[in-house]
Amino acid sequence: MSNDPHALRPGASIAGYNIIRVLGVGGFGITYEADSPFTGKRVAIKEFFPRGIASREGNTRIIYAERDMEVVQWALKRFESSTLDQCRLDHPNIVDVIHYVKDNGTGYMIMEYVEGETLEHWLREGNRPPAPEELRLLMEPVLSALEYLHSRKMIHRDIAPDNIMVRADGRPMIIDFGAIKLIEQETQIRSNAEKSFMVAKQFYSPPEQIQDDGELDSRADIYATGAVLYRAFAGHPPVSAEERMQKLAFGKPDPLTLAAAAAPRLPRDLAAAIDRALSFNADNRQATIAELREALGWDEGAGLTATVALPRDADDARDDPVPKRSKLPWLLPLAGIAAILAAIVFGSGLVPLSKLFAPQAVAPAPVPKLDEVKVVPQMPVHTPPPEESVKKEENPKQQAATPPDQQSQTPPAFPKWFAGEVTLYRAVPNDPALPLTTCVIGRRLAFIVLVEGSKLRVSQGANTFFIDLQPDGSFDFESAFTDTGPKARQLLRKIKFAGTITPERMQGDFVSSIDLGSCHGKFTAKPATG
């Protein structure tokens, strides 16, 4: 990462701190380790740097093209407000955000430097799934941190093994809030839809987080926590919510393998608690962290933030940061000694999604490729006779000159199934004071297409649309229907799909409109293979 051509060079000064090295790189920003030449204090600095539309002028200043200024200003404001909100958080297992600085045409989030390894790395280096008592020592403080956030009417949105750091002393730290994904995706889609900003953690996000108009609450964090526990005990994450959604949309069984089958040695009650946390319907999950803790059998010491000193050779801390799990059992009794009472005195208030943000120190998990989506086996399709194809190729001008009433109205042969997604890139409210909170910029909405002669049957979520297909493969569909919005509000929704389809690809534009404004997206799909 130190060779990243976009990163600040070592020695560059930001707010009195000198850059030492790059810690993490994402599509939205770059995180550095830095220190103060006066105090010697080390910090982590996250620089707002939307890759693909930002460039450097000189050694530090960032410039943008004029056409991108609208989205840049949008993202910078949210980056700033998210940072300021996190400055008010105070929990021993949530990274401490210290300051925000505007400079060099961008913004910098300054936070405490967390030295250690991610929970994902800790799990991979363990050579075996951890024992329940062993993982409990790391996850109980995480539950305490989430309970603290929920008490303030906040949600994390992005709990995953890559977003939990384990310090050298064994204390886990939550380092990344999920709202960064919203800002990254807004920057990506508005500036250049072809660029990838790596913004999704497919295996840890609940179904409602990828659904159109999905309302999120604390149960989204409970699903993600269940997925983290599943990954730890089973050795791999659960099936993604996208795949579960696609299977269920076709009336197929839920593809999620239950925890008891994925981790046969897991105690029955613990496996059942994880399965319930991973319920597809949020209403079937535990409603609170306290309920999840009780179901896991971790209710003793509720409210305590337990830490344990994992063994580590101080002289080799930098070269070999991985604690050897085989040495851990003799240290388990220290957990009670290291318990810290978390007394939190803060007012609560609803926090918009755009403010739920924290530093991202590591790259997110890779997103499964669209080609890997499995739906159903392809059905036989009609193929024009060889002679007909040759004639069309030999005399294309004559074919184009043929009057419409003499041309064949049979569309080209297409694969039976297509699978793809709509990516939202722009929200246009009719009243700026009433933002479209359900139009989450960058959200990806999975959909399935069944080609039935000259019609397309598009299934997206609970909705199905029948679209007429023109002989040239184009389509322009618009429909209006009564829908139920947030808080059970009845509204008239208009949907528009316009684009083209070829045997290799389907793509076009999507617009969803209600009385408050419109939400715009781009869609693309490829043939689905069995």
- Asked if 410 and 518 sit in the same domain, the reply is yes
Q: Which helix (H) or strand (E) holds 173?
A: strand 172-174
Q: How far is CA 202 from CA 31, 78, 159, in A?
A: 23, 24, 12
Is the confidence at residue 123, as pLDDT, over 70?
A: yes
Give yes or no: residues 182 and 311 share one domain.
yes
61 and 92 in a single domain? The answer is: yes
pTM, rounded to two decimals: 0.56
Is residue 197's pLDDT more than 70?
no
Kindly report, residue by residue over 384-403, the tens digit of the pLDDT.
Answer: 444 443 344 444 444 444 44
Q: Which residues contact 194 (CB under 8 A, 6 or more apart)?
A: none
Cα–Cα dist 507/189, whole Å: 15
Q: What are phi and psi of 30, to 5 degrees?
A: -125, 130
C-beta of residue 308 within 8 angstroms of C-beta of residue 137: yes
> pLDDT class for 408, splitting at 50, 70, 90?
very low
* 67 shares a domain with 121: no
Q: Kindly state whether residues 265 and 336 are assigned to the same domain.
A: yes
Least confident of 241-245, 353-357, 437-441: 353-357
- On whether residue 241 sits in a domain, the answer given is yes
Q: Residues 462, 491, 437, 226: is their CA dihedral positive or negative?
A: negative
Q: Is residue 523 part of a domain?
A: yes
The total number of structural domains that make up the chain:
3
Find the farthest-apart pair of alpha carbons in the chain and give their distance in angstroms, rounded. 87
Domain of 201 in residue numbering reads as: 116-371
State the pLDDT at residue 367. 38
Q: What is the CATH number of the domain that holds 89?
A: 3.30.200.20
Q: Which residues in 427-462 are b (16+ Cβ under 10 Å) and which e?
A: beeeeeeeebbbbbbbbbbbbbbbbeeeebebbbbe
Whether residue 150 is found in the same domain as residue 214: yes
Q: What are the angstrom distances between the C-alpha of 354 and each of 160, 378, 379, 406, 440? A: 19, 41, 44, 56, 9
Q: Residue 242 in contact with residue 231, Cβ under 8 Å?
A: no
Which two structure tokens, joined as six digits, stand for 441? 């910029």
Q: What local confidence, expressed as pLDDT, does residue 69 receive?
A: 85
Give the pLDDT score at 486.
55
290 has a pLDDT exceeding 50:
yes
* CATH number of the domain encompassing residue 438: 2.40.160
pLDDT of 310 over the 80 cut: no
Pairing mode, strands 17-25 and 172-174: unpaired
Whether residue 3 lies inside any domain: the answer is no
Q: Is residue 5 one of the residues assigned to a domain?
A: no
Residues 332-391 have pLDDT tens digits of: 333 333 333 333 333 333 333 333 333 333 333 343 333 333 333 333 333 344 444 334
Is 327 a domain residue?
Answer: yes
Whole-number average pLDDT of the chain:
76
Instruction: Write down which residue in 310, 336, 371 finishes a domain.
Output: 371
